[in-house]
Structure 1
Amino acid sequence: MNKYKETFGVDISKDVFDVHGSNKGHDQYKNDETGFKKFLKELPKCSLVVMEATGYYHYRLAQFLYKNGVIVSVVNPLSIKRFIQMKLAKVKTDKSDAKAICEYALINEVPIYNALTDTQSECLQLFRLLDTYLKQRTATKNKIHGEAVLGIPSKFVYRSLIRNKKQLNKEVAAIESKILSLVKEDQQEQLTLLMSIPGIGQKTALFLIVVTDGFSKFETASQLCSYVGITPTIREWGAV
């Protein structure tokens, strides 16, 4: 099934990334630009590099390789986990995971990675930061309420919490404004269409456009529903 000259499975951690080549075997590189360049230099032409989606860690390497003409695939970590479980593997290390990713790619068709544009990348970063600030704001509001329940709240503590909430409100508003301006530059038509649907406001529309890259990442509605986690899992056994 695999049509590439050589396939490489990559397991990425904070400081290093382990690589297993279908012909070359195991190697390890630093998870920085020096390590990226060394790995790129040693890659044979017409190779496929496969890695798991691991939040922040996989992104830099995937973008670097893609921009240097390497064919990259970023796969769902759950697929690799199930593959390893199916093999009844007793060893779980970064080295063994890199080998498992390579073996998975050799017998399965994997999706080809398309690098994010600078605008898409910035929007995703902004949404992650927005999520952090919203959680902090909720925690601050709860703390203000909790201090008030005490009956004799410290004036210093109360004023500090109020200042913190005001600053978070300011940051949230600035981020939302920036996301809106970025989306309008590239996806104004999509934004207008989404907001014309009853029940979908500006925030939901912005989130959907950014997460789906203007709905270009998914071919069907069911794929989108699965991605955002609103598809129920049915489990049945025994007599009904």
Structure 2
Amino acid sequence: MKNYLFHAGIDISKDKLDISILDSSTLQSQHLIIKNDMKSISDFVKILKQKIDINNTLFCCENTGVYTNHLSFVLLNNELDLWVVPAVEIKRSKGISRGKNDKTDSKDISYYSYRHLDKLNLFTLADVDVQKLKILFTERTKMIKALLILQTSKENKEFTQKEVYKEISGVNGTLVKQIKNSIKKIEIRIKEVIKSNDQLSKQDQLVKSIPGIGAQTSAYLIIATKGFSSFDNWRKFACYCGVAPFEFSSGSSVRGKTKVNHMADKKMKSLLQMCVLTAIKYDPQLKEYYNIKKLKEKIQCLL
């Protein structure tokens, strides 16, 4: 494991970055604030190179979605080590705390980085095509939600006078058509991006060869795994998806039901569930296996 001399904890917001740089030898930290844009972060890296050994510095931040993009792009382009940690993990590692502000948050992140090096998993940028798929899939999800909301207006037709319903029926119908056309265009573009990349195209074909898995699930699998490079084995991926069961027991008296954890990629979990339902419906062998497992579970409950 690399022996880092400094740990930079970064609290990210839309407009600014609060940075606490912790010296591993003295455990003293310095705090500074910069803008959350490419130029400011690039200038910060240049200045930091002159003051400390930046190649032996571990940059650590919470996963804040798109707000992390500028920071991750600049740091990885400069071949610097970045660790992106789920916010809930840092929060739970703090123990009992009172009060909260961006300065103390950045300091807490730097201390987390220093104390939990055994959990280190360096961040890597996804391939450009995977990034394209991610933003396309996100827009498709938004449009489907909007479409479902607009289509609820049809319920008014049965309970409203025709003269009254006409006020919104025309506009609503136009919007629904436009959104449906946009969804089709996005789906076509997703297929084009996958086909243009030989590696992603092969992965897509292999995934879709599994019974029950269609185009959208295949695309999201590629996105969630960064082209099947983010997870070392299927066990970690099952845990990430929230489909791996965990024991719940303590001592001799507490014997809870073995169940999955709620902390998961809910989108991936729901897609896999739909794939399973499709597979057991149309694939005879999987259907037979499912019925056998279900029967065994019923027998165990009776015993």
Q: Distance in 1 between matches of 2:223 and 2:248?
A: 32
Aligned residue for 1:29?
34
Write the deviation string for residues 190-223 of structure 1: whole angstroms up to 9, x where unpaired. Answer: 1111111111111111111122122111112222
Aligned residue for 1:147?
156
Contact 1:8 1:49 in 2 (8 A): yes
Aligned residue for 1:125?
135
TM-score, length-normalised on structure 2?
A: 0.73
Are the structure 2 counterparts of residues 8 and 199 from structure 1 closer, same or farther at C-alpha, using a change threshold of 3 Å? Answer: same
Aligned residue for 1:185?
196
Amino acid at match of 1:122: K
RMSD: 1.8
Is 1:207 aligned with 2:212?
no
Aligned residue for 1:218?
231
| More divergent stretch after superposition (59-68 vs 94-103) | 59-68
Q: How far did 1:236 drift?
A: 4.4
Are the structure 2 counterparts of residues 233 and 155 from structure 1 closer, same or farther at C-alpha, using a change threshold of 3 Å? Answer: farther
Amino acid at match of 1:199: G
Contact 2:6 2:58 in 1 (8 A): yes
Contact 2:63 2:85 in 1 (8 A): yes
Aligned residue for 1:194?
207
Q: For 1:22, what is the secondary structure of its paired residue? A: strand
Is 1:97 aligned with 2:74?
no
Aligned residue for 1:157?
168
Contact 1:2 1:105 in 2 (8 A): no
Amino acid at match of 1:229: G
Q: How far did 1:34 drift?
A: 3.2
Q: Once the two structures are aligned, what percentage of the paired residues are identical? A: 27
Q: How far did 1:117 drift?
A: 2.4
Q: For 1:59, what is the secondary structure of its paired residue? A: helix
Q: How far did 1:224 drift?
A: 1.4
Is 1:63 aligned with 2:73?
yes
Q: For 1:154, what is the secondary structure of its paired residue? A: helix
Query: Rg: which structure is higher?
Result: 2
Aligned residue for 1:12?
12
Among 178, 181, 194, the alignment partner of 1:170 is: 181
Q: How far did 1:170 drift?
A: 0.7
Write the deviation string for residues 131-157 of structure 1: whole angstroms up to 9, x where unpaired. Answer: 1111001111112x2321323242131
Q: How far did 1:71 drift?
A: 1.5
Contact 1:2 1:107 in 2 (8 A): no
Aligned length: 237
| More divergent stretch after superposition (63-72 vs 156-165) | 63-72
Q: Give the structure, 1 or 2, with the largest relative contact order (CA under 8 Å, sep 6 or more).
A: 1
Contact 1:26 1:95 in 2 (8 A): yes
Contact 1:123 1:182 in 2 (8 A): yes
TM-score, length-normalised on structure 1?
A: 0.91
Q: Distance in 2 between matches of 1:82 and 1:239?
A: 24
Q: For 2:8, what is the secondary structure of its paired residue? A: strand
Q: Distance in 2 between matches of 1:231 and 1:239?
A: 21
Structure 1: 5+ residue runs without aligned partners?
Answer: none
Q: Distance in 1 between matches of 2:69 and 2:239?
A: 22
Q: Distance in 1 between matches of 2:185 and 2:245?
A: 35
Q: How far did 1:27 drift?
A: 0.8
Contact 1:7 1:102 in 2 (8 A): yes
Q: For 1:213, what is the secondary structure of its paired residue? A: coil
Q: For 2:169, what is the secondary structure of its paired residue? A: helix
Aligned residue for 1:52?
62
Contact 1:191 1:206 in 2 (8 A): yes
| More divergent stretch after superposition (3-12 vs 227-236) | 227-236
Q: Distance in 1 between matches of 2:98 and 2:2?
A: 26
Structure 2: 5+ residue runs without aligned partners?
Answer: 24-28, 256-303
